[in-house]
Amino acid sequence: MRATLIYGAGDIRVENVPDPRIHRPTDAVVRVLRSCICGSDLWPYGSREATEHGDRIGHEFLGIVEELGSDVSGLKRGDLVVAPFVWSDNTCDFCAEGLQTSCRHGGFWASQDVDGGQGEAVRVPQAQGTLVKLPVAEDSALLPSLLTLSDVFCTGHHCAVTAGVGPRTTVTVVGDGAVGLSAVLAARRLGAERIILMGRHKGRTDLGRDFGATDVVAERGEEGIERVRELTGGDGTHTVLECVGTLPALHMSVGAVRAGGTISRVGAPQYPEVPFGFPEFASNLTLTGGMAPARAYIEELLPDVLEGRIEPGRVFDRTVDMDGVPEGYRAMADREALKVLVEP
Amino acid sequence: MRATLIYGAGDIRVENVPDPRIHRPTDAVVRVLRSCICGSDLWPYGSREATEHGDRIGHEFLGIVEELGSDVSGLKRGDLVVAPFVWSDNTCDFCAEGLQTSCRHGGFWASQDVDGGQGEAVRVPQAQGTLVKLPVAEDSALLPSLLTLSDVFCTGHHCAVTAGVGPRTTVTVVGDGAVGLSAVLAARRLGAERIILMGRHKGRTDLGRDFGATDVVAERGEEGIERVRELTGGDGTHTVLECVGTLPALHMSVGAVRAGGTISRVGAPQYPEVPFGFPEFASNLTLTGGMAPARAYIEELLPDVLEGRIEPGRVFDRTVDMDGVPEGYRAMADREALKVLVEP
């Protein structure tokens, strides 16, 4: 089969690799119907050192169960399933608490001998715990939105949930990438009273308005903070959803949050330390968020997608086949594309 | 009257100052029955630059209402009252949310023209919002425990509450000072299943055991972290209550917390940045806490003190009169005394 490999910064190749097979009785093999490129894939794409052997990449996919290990129950060949971006047994104590990203028997896609998601098929470890059956057909128009349950929409939802967004909450979302827009949609779904989206790309912030943003702030840095403060009577918002992962984004978050408020971050941090000293202590600020346990949220979010109440798949603005994956990376890195869908 | 002033590091003096008078109709004047020295007073005591004029100091006291401004209702002369360590109107939106430390019309003791608490009397701004009446007599044996509602026990309680301590929670408390021991007592009161106290001073950790600590870890740094991990099957505890305020204490907290867990800090941070990058993100750690809105908690905690279910005043292990205040500072700074009560 064909799969995507990364050989270094800017060097994405699609190559023939061995077909996945069942290694353990808890495995399944899934033929990929849809995959996609994640903002977090752009970090290695931007900076990874060149290697002679490529590494698999990709961690979001949905597809059809082709084979099942003997220990997997609850699934059958032909089921259409989505995989969260971390695989897990879904039974250990961490999973029971809804923290499948810390599963005692889980792990990451495209790591060690586990396949990446940007390929024609994937061996799925801990298949029974990992995969969630989707009651749609292979040609469903809902596939893009259902694919967002693998990562991007669940990540935005995790950000809003850990921040404590609810009715009467005011929210600032930092970042107009696919995660930021997903966070807007999630905050809206949770009933947020006001959602200020900080972003500079009109096409994206327009989609943010469609998703529920009540205000858009295009300014950045101190100017951006000042603008959010102006919009909130000087106070800032109860919550800030930090969907970028850089230090400037975190600085803006600290500047835009109200005393007693919460900053939740879901952009993978590209910094070792955060500015959270005496002033933030005196204001009783909370810093939370983290790697989203998507698996914990899929069942809860699924009905809203199936019944069309939300359409998170609108973050995809380009579709490529396997040959188009390298170009998809380039387009996302150059901000030509918001999020690229892969149809192998 | 006599009051305590700080002239610089190590230079505490007790001097005659003008008697407090009502400045505004929202003021009261309180004759101080008991005050005390706070661990946070030791920061300026350790490092403040010398000045020619001294500055008032102290922010914990209870006493008798002597005078009332014309706008103060609900209090009368002769009432015995406790003051939280931040004064507030207790009616603004922040106060209504229980964040009196961010009150729109509040402020700090011993700041600008407001008296400090370590004196014979204090002018209390926003007296109606600030002062809480205590139904005891001037000679009550409960005064030390009631005084802890001004700061130290409410601070420990805030730490436990913001960390989310409850039944089935495992807790590590970093620091065996008066705040750390208060946090142990607060965690116990909230039903924590297990409380590991990190501290090296046996007299203090023994009191910690009385307060509810189930385990004591005397080791520090990496060794201390390893010990907490050993005690918790390798996982760490659900919450860590950071009651020191230094970077090494925060490092231990990050090392001792379980994935998905919360670090709450109530020691005033002596650092501008915290190590909270990708590993902490991947583990979904939360950093919370802050300056305790003591005013929000007094009514809730008062019955337990009045009815003797908790005895937070046991943190006081030395009593001085006004003349003894400088020696009280020295004894606390040299760790001879845990917390010093002042009886003017």
Same-domain check for residues A21 and A31 = yes
- Both tokens of residue B94? 């922040």
Sort out which chain A residues have CB atoms less than 8 A from B260's CB and list them: 94, 97, 99, 102
Q: Answer for the pair A243, A211: CB distance below 8 angstroms, yes or no.
A: no
Q: How far is B147 from chain A (nearest CA, A)?
A: 22
Asked if the C-beta of A218 comes within 8 angstroms of chain B's C-beta atoms, the answer is no
Query: By C-alpha distance, which of A50, A200, A61 is closest to A124?
Result: A61
Closest CB to A291: pick one of B94, B281, B289: B281
Backbone angles phi, psi at B257, to 5 degrees: -90, 150
Q: How far is A16 from chain B (nearest CA, A)?
A: 32
The residue of chain A nearest to residue B162, with distances taken between CA atoms, is A286
Same-domain check for residues B206 and B320 = no
Asked if the C-beta of A272 comes within 8 angstroms of chain B's C-beta atoms, the answer is yes
State how beta strands B194-198 and B215-217 pair.
Answer: parallel
Same-domain check for residues B75 and B135 = yes
CA pair distance B27, A245, nearest whole angstrom: 48
Asked if the C-beta of A214 comes within 8 angstroms of chain B's C-beta atoms, the answer is no
Same-domain check for residues B46 and B138 = yes
Residue span of the structural domain in which A35 resides: 2-151+294-342
Same-domain check for residues B274 and B330 = no
Query: For A232-251, b where at least 16 C-beta lie within 10 A, e where not — what string?
Result: beebbbbbbbbbbbbbebbb
Sort out which chain B residues have CB atoms less than 8 A from A279's CB and list them: none
Burial of A323 (0-12, 13-18, 19+ CB in 10 A): exposed
In the stretch 86-115 of chain B, residues with CB closer than 8 A to chain A read 94, 97, 99, 101-102
CA pair distance A85, A24, nearest whole angstrom: 20
CA atoms within 13 A on the CB side of B176: 26
Q: How far is B320 from chain A (nearest CA, A)?
A: 30
Query: By C-alpha distance, which of A162, A111, A159, A148 is closest to A268?
Result: A159
Query: By C-alpha distance, which of B183, B164, B161 is closest to B297?
Result: B161
Q: Answer for the pair B280, B254: CB distance below 8 angstroms, yes or no.
A: yes
Q: How far is B272 from chain A (nearest CA, A)?
A: 4
Determine the pLDDT at residue A112.
85
Same-domain check for residues B236 and B247 = yes
Q: How far is A135 from chain B (nearest CA, A)?
A: 31
Same-domain check for residues A66 and A178 = no
CA pair distance B21, B143, nearest whole angstrom: 25
CA pair distance A12, A212, nearest whole angstrom: 35
Same-domain check for residues B236 and B285 = yes
Q: Answer for the pair A117, A35: CB distance below 8 angstroms, yes or no.
A: yes
CA atoms within 13 A on the CB side of B298: 26
Closest CB to A101: pick one of B162, B275, B284: B284
Same-domain check for residues B146 and B16 = yes
Sort out which chain A residues have CB atoms less than 8 A from B246's CB and list them: none
**CA A100 vs CA A36, A87, A241, B8: distances in Å:** 21, 8, 21, 53
CB contact under 8 A, B291 and A281: yes
- Tell me the residue type at B148: T
Same-domain check for residues A7 and A76 = yes
- Structural domain count, chain B: 2
CB contact under 8 A, B281 and A273: no
The residue of chain B nearest to residue A264, with distances taken between CA atoms, is B286
Asked if the C-beta of A261 comes within 8 angstroms of chain B's C-beta atoms, the answer is no
CA atoms within 13 A on the CB side of A8: 5
Q: From B265, B289, B313, give the residue that closes a domain.
A: B289
CB contact under 8 A, A268 and B284: no
Mutation choice for B interface testing from A104, A284, A288 by most B CBs within 10 A:
A284
Closest CB to B102: pick one of A99, A259, A273: A259
Q: Answer for the pair A62, A83: CB distance below 8 angstroms, yes or no.
A: yes
Query: CATH number of the domain that A276 lies in?
Result: 3.40.50.720
Dihedral angle computed from the Cα positions of residues A325, A327, A330 and A331, in that order, rounded to the nearest 10 degrees: -100
CA pair distance A326, A322, nearest whole angstrom: 9
Q: Which residue has the tokens 């968020």?
A: A289
Same-domain check for residues A83 and A203 = no
Regions of chain B with pLDDT less than 50: none
Please state, as a whole number, how many other Cβ atoms lie within 10 Å of the Cβ of residue B140.
15
* Kind plus residue range of the DSSP H or E element containing A121: strand A121-124
CA pair distance A292, A86, nearest whole angstrom: 9
Determine the pLDDT at residue B112.
85
Sort out which chain A residues have CB atoms less than 8 A from B162's CB and list them: 284, 286
**CA A240 vs CA A50, A163, A253: distances in Å:** 37, 7, 6
Sort out which chain B residues have CB atoms less than 8 A from A288's CB and list them: 286-288
Question: Where in B52-167 does DSSP place strands (E)?
Answer: 55-56, 61-68, 80-83, 86-87, 107-108, 121-124, 132-133
Q: Classify the phi-psi angles of B97: left when phi > 0, otherwise alpha if psi is within -120 to 50, otherwise beta.
A: alpha
Same-domain check for residues B114 and B77 = yes
Q: Answer for the pair B159, B289: CB distance below 8 angstroms, yes or no.
A: yes
CB contact under 8 A, B288 and A288: yes
Sort out which chain A residues have CB atoms less than 8 A from B276's CB and list them: 269, 273-274, 276, 287
Chain-centroid distance of CA A192 in Å reads: 20
Query: CATH number of the domain that B328 lies in?
Result: 3.90.180.10
* Dihedral sign, Cα of residue A22, residue A26, residue A31, residue A34: negative
Asked if the C-beta of B287 comes within 8 angstroms of chain A's C-beta atoms, the answer is yes
Question: pLDDT tens, position by position, for chain A (344 residues)?
Answer: 999 999 999 999 999 999 999 999 999 999 999 999 999 999 999 999 999 999 999 999 999 999 999 999 999 999 999 999 999 999 999 999 999 999 999 999 999 899 999 999 999 999 999 999 999 999 999 999 999 999 999 999 999 999 999 999 999 999 999 999 999 999 999 999 999 999 999 999 999 999 999 999 999 999 999 999 999 999 999 999 999 999 999 999 999 999 999 999 999 999 999 999 999 999 999 999 999 999 999 999 999 999 999 999 999 999 999 999 999 999 999 999 999 999 99
The DSSP-derived string for A203-241 is HHHHHHHHHT-SEEE---HHHHHHHHHHHTTTS-EEEEE
